[in-house]
Structure 1
């Protein structure tokens, strides 16, 4: 049989699909230094591994079928560092990657495969929202049955890159993701600038509506902002390197970089003895965890606490660290929200947690209460009680008040390690003297010193160890080896390194 006609048609249809929105639109993007949807996939996955599904899909409307290659969303499977992933890359050159009946079905198919086969799901976002006139009218917006379209059960990691104007589904999938990276200059919001401007009857600045500063510093939805598409895609690859492919396996183990932990003596140089002096905890973390393995999430949000993925002896851990460089390490509502989302991530994907503690308590004040401080603190405690992966707590310099419990004290961690410099107390003894006795150190220095000594009794690392509130007291230099050994003991061997996932339905945004 002669199949030349079929071969020619297949080749023509393939060329049309791969041409996306055409040479002019692709060249415009190239001139702006922005990758197109297929180039983004090529940068993300291992060379030659992408298998496209739904390549020949088009709009359901006959009059635009010839100008909707792949119906504006490119979907399929590839490998990152040899592991299978599922990918959806929005093609903005085709009708602004607007959502339609056909391409929504494509996305749903890939999500279903990713969930059932244990593949991480990556969304490369850039879209205008729902496609009109397709969704206009009751039939367009109200028809169908998609009750689980936006359900998260955290069977596999979800990652979203905000790489342009992202409205509608692109913004929804960013809010649902475990990790969100955003290119500076991109925008994500519920609705477009044009529609929002009409709704509020005034011009709206795109950056104020949904720019990277808003989402990294105010909403906390974005974990990392970068300058280019390439940096964003590299960040996706790096994030996934710390995580398992699905919730029923432990995280991958990496080679330990040469020189890891060899500068531990410098911890004593960096840690001030005086409680009132600040320092950047990141410098200390770099001396404890595998060299160059710290991958910080939400560094511009809730800055008094650092949340980071890292490795110890090649094994992934989640680090929650007080950072006295900001607000003296006092925990505000934003920091609470940041930590809770991190606890959910780590517990969902079998990542042990290490708390590095040097905090003076919760930041009190009217603004904090207006932001729901009480509820945020209790959300954290509720999440702590549901965490089923190992929890280790290292008290570095001080830990005070209710936050002692939030940071792993009072039985909220499997092991509490105190540096010999640690202090555990209900509050700063100086504040206690002022509140209980009303003594001013300027007017009654001798009396103040006497009362301060009294309020400071029984607060040392050894006092905590005496009542078994601290299980170990160590030289800070020995922290790395202590944590490695403890994790060997606690790393869920009986269940193959897999936790119970009690927070698998915890809201991704709240």
Structure 2
């Protein structure tokens, strides 16, 4: 039932590092392609990059996950780890297939474990292209990056359950639509108008990151002179200490060709995170944003920064931090919700990081 991709491993030394990296060639074959169901897996090219491609569609039974379908998800994750390839998944699912009972729940557990084992080994990107609820919605929290189309929604408990337990009437869009996740939950990296744009966003993210933890990020071609002066960066900062400015303007002045890929721009806007290149070298950028909460750190900002720093460290991406903040945002509610604990997560991520940090 399982057609394993043919892998050719070659150990070689990077010209800029003495650490070993691995080049892997995987034939674009379908995995378990003859197994019917809502999940389909193959190894394919994505803008010149080989990825393990997983699709969970709602074409049959609203994408309910049978044991076999969940096993297919686990197969995709294991193949990504074994082949050292990024995992890109397109997902729409109503949850476990209730017709199978505990067997379906067991399958979901196997899939969750396999996806978890990808963490820090290969990048994982999930494109949510339809309703994704109950157990499958939790996969979004496991993935490194999540892209949601405008027609999709995701939650673990639906509007009917919310109304029954709380008495509050709410619809799918407000409860778990792309705007909700992009602004309030932080579960979504970016929102796309449709599947095609979502794939393009995934390609843009992959352009900055390596295939796996033992590989350096891909170098970019650029004619931008790394020795050029950047007086515009200073001009963007107001002379008054109480003045405000958009730190993204400073980032674009510093970056190669003024290109900056911001991640999660609408969640925790007081902390900007994203990718740029300097001399063709991809770099992760963390920056206080004076336009939002005066650049102070709160719980969402700490969570956003901690996860991004940990991701960069896992995949050998240097980190540039632009600091302009009066400190932590004050408030009883913030302290009671665990500002110490969440703030320490950001400290822990930086303290644990071994990549170059400026």
For the aligned pair, the TM-score class normalised by the smaller chain equals 0.7 to 0.9
Shift of 1:342: 0.6
Instruction: Determine the C-alpha separation between the residues in 1 that align with 2:288 and 2:182.
Output: 19
Separation (CA, whole Å) in 2 of partners of 1:296 and 1:372: 27
Equivalent residue number for residue 54 of structure 1: 32
1:253 aligns with 2:231: no
Q: Closer, same or farther in 2 for the Cα pair 1:208/1:374, shift >3 Å?
A: same
Q: Distance in 2 between matches of 1:193 and 1:326?
A: 31
Q: Write the distance in 1 (CA, Å) between the matches of 2:332 and 2:277.
A: 39
In the TM superposition, what whole-angstrom CA distance separates every residue of 1:141-168 from its partner, at most 9, and x where no partner exists? 4689838345244210001111111114
- The answer to whether residue 135 in structure 2 is matched with residue 157 in structure 1 is no
Q: CA deviation at 1:83?
A: 2.4
**How far apart, CA to CA, are the structure 2 residues paired with 1:181 and 1:143?**
24
Structure-to-structure mapping, 1:299-448, within 5 angstroms? 299-392=265-358
Q: 3-state DSSP class of the match of 1:109?
A: helix
- The TM-score with structure 2 as length reference comes to 0.85
* Residue pair 2:96, 2:105 contacting (<8 A) in 1 also: no
What is the match of residue 16 of structure 2? none
Q: Distance in 1 between matches of 2:155 and 2:109?
A: 25
Pair 1:381–1:128, CA change in 2 (3 A): same
Do 1:125 and 1:160's aligned partners in 2 also have CA atoms closer than 8 Å?
yes
Corresponding position of 2:98: 132
The question of 1:222 aligning with 2:188 is answered yes
* CA drift at 1:52: 2.3
Per-residue CA deviation, residues 279-315 of structure 1 (Å, 9 max, x unaligned), is 0010111010112431111111111111111111111
CA 1:202 to 1:264, structure 2 compared with 1: closer, same or farther past 3 Å? Answer: closer
Answer whether contact 1:260 1:289 (CA < 8 A) is retained. no
1:207 equivalent to 2:185? Answer: no
Deviation of 1:125 after TM superposition, in Å, equals 1.2
Greater Cα offset, 261-270 or 349-358: 261-270
Query: Structure 1 residue 116: deviation in Å?
Result: 1.0
Deviations 1:111-154 (A, max 9, x none): 1111011010111111111112122xx55546898383452442
Q: Deviations for 1:187-222, whole angstroms, at most 9, x for unmatched residues?
A: 111144456556667643112221122212221111
- Unpaired runs of 5+ residues, structure 2, are 1-26
Alpha-carbon distance, 1:252 to partner: 0.6
Residue 172, structure 1, aligned to residue 138, structure 2: yes
Counterparts of 1:261 and 1:183, CA distance in 2: 40
Q: How does 1:446-485 map to 2 (within 5 A)?
A: none
Matches of 2:342 and 2:301 in 1, distance apart?
A: 9
CA RMSD after TM alignment: 2.4
After superposition, give the CA deviation of every residue in 1:328-375 in whole Å (9 maximum; x if it has no partner): 111111111110011111001010001111111111111221331111
1:242 match: secondary structure = coil
Aligned equivalents of 1:240, 1:144: Cα separation in 2: 27
Match of 2:207, SS? helix
Q: How much does 1:241 deviate?
A: 0.9
- Which digits, 9 at most, give the CA deviation of each residue in 1:373-408, with x for residues without a partner? 11111111122211010110xxxxxxxxxxxxxxxx
Structure 2 partner of 1:298: 264
Count how many residue pairs are aligned between Structure 1 and Structure 2. Answer: 330
Partner of 1:76: 42
State whether residues 70 and 108 of structure 2, in contact with CA within 8 Å, keep that contact through their aligned partners in structure 1.
no
The one of 248, 253, 268 equivalent to 1:287 is 253
Q: Kindly provide the CA deviation profile for residues 44-100 of structure 1, in whole angstroms up to 9, marking residues without a partner as x.
A: xxxxx9532222212xxxxxxxxxxxx011211112232210011122112222101
8 A Cα contact 1:167 1:189, kept in partner: yes
- Cα distance in 2, alignment partners of residues 245 and 51 from structure 1: 18
SS class of match (1:291):
helix
Matched residue, 2:6: none
Structure 1 residue runs of 5 or longer lacking an equivalent are: 1-48, 59-70, 393-510
Contact kept, 8 Å, 1:154 with 1:247, in 2: the verdict is: yes
- Encode CA deviations 1:262-295: one digit per residue, 9 max, x unaligned: 6823223211111011000101110101124311
Aligned-partner Cα distance in 1 for 2:287–2:305: 10
CA spacing shift, 1:356–1:204, aligned 2, 3 Å: same
Deviates more, 1:194-203 or 1:75-84: 194-203
Going from structure 1 to structure 2, the CA distance change for 1:286 and 1:330 (only over 3 Å counts) comes to same
Aligned residues of 1:247 and 1:348 also touching (Cα < 8 A) = yes
CA distance in 2, matches of 1:81, 1:248: 21
